Amino acid sequence: MTDETIHDEVLRLAAEAAIDYRAQPAPGFEQVASFEQVLETLDACLPENPADPAEVIGELVSKMTPGLRPMTSPTFFGWVIGGSHPTGVAADWLTSAWGQNSGNVVITPAAAAAEQIVSTWLLELLGLPPTSSVGFVTGATIANFVALAAARGELLRRVGWDVERQGLYGAPVIEVLIGADAHATVYSALRYLGLGSERVKAIETDESGRMRPDSLRDAFQSIDGPAIVIAQAGQINTGACDPFTEICTIAHDHGAWVHVDGAFGLWAQASPRFRHLTQGVELADSWATDGHKWLQLPYDSGFAIVKDRAAHERCMSIEASYLPSAESSVREPSAYVPELSRRARGFAAWAMIRALGRSGIVEMVERHCDFAAALGRKCVSIPGVRIVAPIELNQLMLRFGESDEATLATVGEIRRRGRIVIGPALWRGEWIMRVSVCNFGTGPDQLPEVEREIAAAWNDVRSQLLDGPRDKAIAAS
Ligand SMILES: *Cc1c(COP(=O)(O)O)cnc(C)c1O
C-alpha cells in the first residue's frame, strides 16, 4: 500500500470504530475496566520500531474501549457534563484532519471566521452584551482564568498600575469576594493569577448556595480599593443561580468587577421559561461558560466572555515578528486565549449551534430541567426519600433514609445494577445522591427507567439495613 492509501485506511478505521462505539449499548459504571486493568494490557516498553498504522488504531480501540466510562449515554447523570453530540464530534474530526493552527486571522482564515460567527451567536443565545469579546478555550476553568485575568488587569489599570508589564509585586491589593458555594476551579484560577485561593472573602450563601446580597453589602463596608466579585450561574450541586441584579448593583456602586462562573447555568439565559433564574446576569463584566456541558460539544470547549474587549485583549494578546498582524478592527483569535497554538474550536461550535438552532438548544435545556423536576416529583412519593434542595434547573439532590450510610449504599447499588449512572456528593456536610441531567439524548423516554432504578436500589438497601447484618452478609457473599 502507498502512504496515501494507508492514511485513508486509518481515518476510515477510526470513523468506523467511533460509529461502532456509539451504536453499542453503554456498559454499566462498574463493568468498566479499572485503570490497573487497562494498564496491564499495554506494553510499557517504548516502541523501538514503526508499527502498521491500521494495527495501531485497531489496538488502540481494543485496549481502550474496555476502560471507557459510559459518559455519552442518555442515562448518564454522574456529573454535569454533555454527551459529545455526534454532530460536534464529526466537526471535531474534521478540525483535527484539517490541522489548522488557529491563532491568526491571516494564516487560518476559516478558523477565525468560524470563531467570529460563533462569538456573535453565543452572545445572542446567552443574552450578553453584543460587543463583548469571546475567547475559545478548553473549558470553564480556563474561561474563569482568562476572564479574571482581564478583571485583574483592568482594575489595576484604573489605579495606575500596569500588571501586564509590571507584574503583581508592589501592586495595589485586589480584594476578591466570592460566594461560599463557588466551584473549586474558580479557586484554581485565582491561584494561577497570583490572587491566592485563601485571600478571598467568602460571602454567605442561602440554603441553595446563592450569594446573600446583604452579606455582600456588608463585606464591601471594609473595602475601598479594587475588588472582584465572583458570582455563579448554576451551583454544581443545586443548580442555583446568584441574584445577579442585586449583586451587580452593589458591586458596581463600589467600582468592582463582577465575574460570573456560568459553566452550565448560563444556558438558562437561552430559555424564555428559565431565563428568570439568571435575571440580571448580563449586567456583569465577564462570564465563563462551557461548550462541553449544555451545548454538548466534544471535549474540550469553553468560552471566556468579557464585556470590555480591550481589557480582554490586553491580558491575552500575543505578538511575534513572524506572525502577520491583522487590521486592528479584525478579531484575532489568539488575542482572547492563553495559548498561541491551539485546535480550531470554532468549527465544532459552529456546527453544533448550526445543527441545533436556537430552538433546539432551548428545547434541550427545557427538556433537561423538566426531567429533573419530573424525577423529583416521582422520588418524593417513595417513602424514605427526601429532596434536599428546591429543583430549579437540571440538578436534583436526593437523600435516602436520612443517613449517609443509606444514601451512599443506594448510590452504590445503582452503580452495581449498571443501568444508569448517578453519583454522590457532599452538601452541607451530608452525603446526597446527585442527578445531573445534561445529555442531549435524555428526555421523557428515560424517566420511567431512572425512577425504577432509584426505587429498586433504595428498596434493596432499605431491606438490608432493616433486616440487619445477616442479610448484609448474604448480599456481600
Ligand atoms: C464544570 C464546572 C466548572 C469547570 O469547568 P471545566 O469545563 O471542567 O473546566 C467550573 N464551574 C462550574 C460551576 C462548573 O459546573
Taking residues 427-446, what's their average pLDDT?
A: 97
Render pLDDT for 3-19 as a digit per residue (tens, 0 to 9): 878 889 999 999 999 99
- Neighbour-count burial of 2, counting CB atoms closer than 10 A to its CB (0-12 exposed, 13-18 middle, 19+ buried): exposed
pLDDT value of residue 468: 64
Average model confidence (pLDDT) across the chain: 94
Residue 477 has pLDDT above 60, yes or no: no
CA–centroid distance, 318 to ligand 1, in Å, is 26
pLDDT value at position 472?
A: 47
- 238: exposed, middle or buried (Cβ count in 10 Å: 0-12, 13-18, 19+): buried
Q: Which atom of ligand 1 is nearest to the CA of 182?
A: 13
Q: In angstroms, what is the span from residue 33 Cα to ligand 1's centroid?
A: 26
∠ CA 152-331-345, rounded to 5°: 85
Is ligand 1 within 6 A of the CB of residue 290? yes
**How confident is the model at residue 60, as a pLDDT?**
97
Q: What is the CATH number of domain 91-352?
A: 3.40.640.10
Query: What average pLDDT does range 136-148 have in this prediction?
Result: 98
Region 90-119: what's the mean pLDDT?
Answer: 95
Q: pLDDT tens for residues 453-470? A: 999 999 999 999 877 654
| Position with higher pLDDT, 44 vs 303 | 303
Looking only at Cα atoms, what is the longest distance across the chain?
A: 77
- Residue 317: pLDDT band with limits 50, 70, 90: confident
The reply to whether ligand 1 has any atom less than 6 angstroms from the CB of 183 is yes
357: pLDDT confidence band, cut at 50, 70 and 90?
very high
Atom of ligand 1 nearest to the CA of 234: 13
Top-level class of domain 358-476:
alpha beta
Question: Considering only CA atoms, which of 157, 210, 220 is closest in space to residue 181?
Answer: 210
**Looking up cell 462551557, which residue turns up?**
290
pLDDT tens digit string along 167-190?
Answer: 999 999 999 999 999 999 999 999
Whole-number pLDDT of residue 87: 98
Model pTM score? 0.95
Q: Is the CB of 102 under 6 A from ligand 1?
A: no
Is pLDDT above 60 for 39?
A: yes
The pLDDT, as a whole number, for residue 327 is 66
236 CB within 6 A, ligand 1: yes
